[in-house]
Amino acid sequence: MIVGKVVGSVVATRKNENLTGNKFLIVEPFGNMAGDGRIVAIDNVGAGIGEEVLVALGSAARIGCGVKDSPVDAAIVGIIDDSIGLE
């Protein structure tokens, strides 16, 4: 799991049928939490741009957002209310 900040959104009108109705957000991980920079994560907790979030990766992402049969590699599973030592 990583922590990051939502910096944008993605709109995809054509996508895998298992992803229909889901929102996708761009997350900038804090520090060295994710080596490849920004990631696109499915959001079913209602996060918005500028919020700090918890992101599950890999198979945990599919389980955490209830789409275990979908091509999901990252999912926002929580919105952070308060943090110490991030960024």
Nearest 5 degrees, angle CA 74-CA 43-CA 47? 125
Q: Which domain holds residue 73?
A: 2-13+20-79
List the CATH number of the domain containing 48.
Answer: 2.40.50.220
Average pLDDT over residues 67-73: 79
**Domain presence at residue 84:** no
Task: Give domain status of residue 60, yes or no.
Answer: yes
Q: Which two tokens stand for residue 39?
A: 């990631």
pLDDT band at 34 (very low <50, low <70, confident <90, very high): low
Task: Indicate the average pLDDT of the chain.
Answer: 86
Q: Within a domain: residue 85?
A: no
Domain count, the chain: 1
pLDDT band at 64 (very low <50, low <70, confident <90, very high): low
Per-residue pLDDT, averaged over 39-61, amounts to 92
The three-state secondary structure class of 40 is: strand
The reported pTM is 0.85
Q: Which residues pair with 23 in a beta bridge?
A: 43
| pLDDT value of residue 37 | 87
